[in-house]
């Protein structure tokens, strides 16, 4: 047998040796590590989460699409077989289900994509589920890559990156007592081209006892973290980011510790508005509670420990009488304003030197003018 190396093999080896005789490292085109993936997400045509719909609902890479290779029930079925019968039987069933589901995605969700399509695929830990999908898509001819470490690597990485991004940004914090239209000012700033981090919008909650939004449940803590990371990574570090003065919790969700620290160190802007304007604003903003007096009463009942039965009964009587202006006036004077004064100066030390926006009305026009003045003052 000849010891000569076949010419096609020798030519491949030669092509991987650089002129200085050091091996040329061929990039891995089937897998992508987490740092490269997060740095280059925009270079992928799609991010495909092949986990079950339940896993996807709890959290996923923002912008990802869910193309499960096992649905929730199938995942339970395979897992039960794995524990109660054998690994072999579970893998046999799992393979059949995965193949069937991938075929459905190929026919109904991927068929229109050109040969140049380049998706990033991930599952829980970068194992069999994403591996199966990635292998088949590459066999078709697409430039599919699987995420090394899967969702677990993503979750760990974005928490680290979220803190690092927060540390790199300069925040301008919108402060003011309840009903001073802080969130609406953020909206106008965003419309004027400012960088805005609207945590309450991401959390689907207004951050108080009455902060629930009708028909909009809060995301999971993990999904909230993903949404905040996604927002932060899009900001220009040379420009300020406007954010509302939040507490550590927004509804049931926790604001990331490093982000909270950076917000509290930020320069403050305080809205000053007269009480009648605030009351008018809140009555208009919380119509969903005014139309459901029983729900409103139940929410206020949680304040009995702070205010006692007699005061809660007085508020309930105002609800029954439909005296909304008086109710909101009392809630501000007796509960919300004192709570704000107790916490704000401690949590936001920059409040003492805050730039003050004096707004006699909290209309869209007045908030637009205030946003414009902030932008023109070099805060854009």
Concatenated DSSP letters for 278-346? HHHHHHHHTHHHHT-HHHHHHHHGGGHHHHHHHHHHHHHHHHHHT-HHHHHHHHIIIIIHHHHHHHHHH
pLDDT (0 to 100) of residue 379 = 64
pLDDT (0 to 100) of residue 23 = 40
At 109, list the tokens: 């969700």
pLDDT (0 to 100) of residue 346 = 87
Strand partners, 174: 244, 269
In SS3 terms, 126-159 reads as: CCHHHHHHHHHHHHHCCCCEEECCHHHHHHHHHH
pLDDT (0 to 100) of residue 343 = 87
Q: Out of 3.40.50.300, 3.30.40.230, 3.40.250.10, 3.30.1330.90, select the CATH number for domain 24-156.
A: 3.40.250.10
Instruction: Kindly list the catalytic residues.
Output: 123
pLDDT (0 to 100) of residue 22 = 41
User: What is the C-alpha to C-alpha distance for residues 230 and 234, in angstroms, rounded to an integer?
Assistant: 7
E-strand stretches of 163-266: 171-175, 195-197, 241-244, 249-250, 253-254
| CA terminus-to-terminus distance, the chain | 76
User: Which residue is associated with the tokens 């507490």?
Assistant: 247
What are residue 169's phi and psi, to 5 degrees?
A: -105, 155
Residue 212's CB: how many other CB atoms inside 10 A?
18
Q: What residue spans define the domains of the chain? A: 24-156, 169-379
Q: In this structure, are residues 269 and 374 in contact, taking their beta carbons and an 8 Å threshold?
A: yes
At 332, list the tokens: 């501000």
DSSP state of 17: B
pLDDT (0 to 100) of residue 186 = 98
User: What is the C-alpha to C-alpha distance for residues 227 and 243, in angstroms, rounded to an integer?
Assistant: 15
pLDDT (0 to 100) of residue 28 = 56
pLDDT (0 to 100) of residue 344 = 86
Q: Spelled out in words, what is the top-level CATH class assigned to the domain 169-379?
A: alpha beta
pLDDT (0 to 100) of residue 20 = 43
Walk along the chain (380 residues) and give the pLDDT tens digit of each residue.
333 333 333 333 233 333 344 443 334 589 999 999 999 999 999 999 999 999 999 999 999 999 999 999 999 999 999 999 999 999 999 999 999 999 999 999 999 999 999 999 999 999 999 999 999 999 999 999 999 999 999 999 999 999 999 999 999 999 999 999 999 999 999 999 999 999 999 999 998 889 998 889 999 999 999 999 999 999 999 999 999 999 999 999 999 999 999 999 999 999 999 999 999 999 999 999 988 999 999 999 999 999 999 999 999 999 999 999 999 999 999 999 999 988 887 899 999 999 999 999 999 999 999 999 999 876 66
């Amino acid at each position: 047998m000849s010891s000569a190396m076949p010419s096609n093999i020798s030519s491949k080896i030669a092509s991987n040796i650089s002129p200085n005789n050091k091996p040329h490292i061929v990039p891995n085109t089937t897998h992508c590590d987490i740092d490269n993936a997060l740095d280059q997400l925009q270079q992928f045509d799609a991010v495909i989460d092949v986990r079950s719909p339940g896993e996807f609902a709890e959290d996923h890479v923002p912008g990802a699409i869910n193309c499960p290779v096992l649905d929730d029930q199938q995942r339970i079925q395979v897992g039960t077989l794995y524990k109660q019968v054998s690994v072999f039987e579970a893998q046999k069933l799992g393979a059949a289900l995965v193949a069937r589901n991938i075929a459905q995605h190929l026919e109904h969700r991927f068929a229109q994509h050109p040969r140049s399509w380049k998706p990033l695929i991930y599952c829980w830990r970068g194992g069999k589920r994403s591996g199966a999908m990635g292998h088949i898509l590459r066999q078709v001819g697409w430039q599919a890559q699987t995420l090394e470490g899967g969702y677990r690597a993503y979750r760990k990485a974005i928490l680290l990156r979220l803190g690092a991004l927060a540390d790199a940004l300069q925040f301008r914090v919108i402060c003011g007592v309840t009903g001073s239209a802080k969130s609406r000012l953020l909206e106008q700033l965003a419309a004027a081209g400012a960088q805005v981090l609207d945590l309450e919008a991401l959390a689907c909650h207004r951050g108080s006892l009455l902060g629930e939004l009708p028909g909009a449940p809060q995301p999971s803590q993990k999904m909230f973290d993903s949404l905040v990371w996604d927002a932060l990574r899009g900001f220009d570090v040379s420009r300020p980011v406007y954010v509302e003065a939040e507490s550590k919790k927004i509804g049931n969700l926790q604001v990331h510790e490093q982000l909270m620290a950076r917000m509290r160190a930020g320069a403050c802007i305080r809205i000053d508005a007269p009480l009648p304007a605030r009351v008018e604003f809140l009555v208009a903003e919380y119509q969903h509670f005014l139309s459901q007096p029983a729900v409103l009463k139940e929410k206020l009942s949680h304040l009995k420990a702070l205010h006692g039965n007699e005061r809660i009964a007085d508020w309930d009587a105002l609800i029954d009488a439909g005296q909304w202006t008086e109710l909101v006036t009392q809630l501000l004077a007796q509960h919300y304003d004192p709570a704000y004064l107790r916490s704000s100066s401690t949590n936001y030390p920059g409040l003492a030197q805050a730039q003050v926006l004096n707004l006699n009305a909290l209309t869209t026009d007045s908030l637009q003018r205030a946003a414009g003045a902030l932008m023109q003052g070099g805060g854009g």
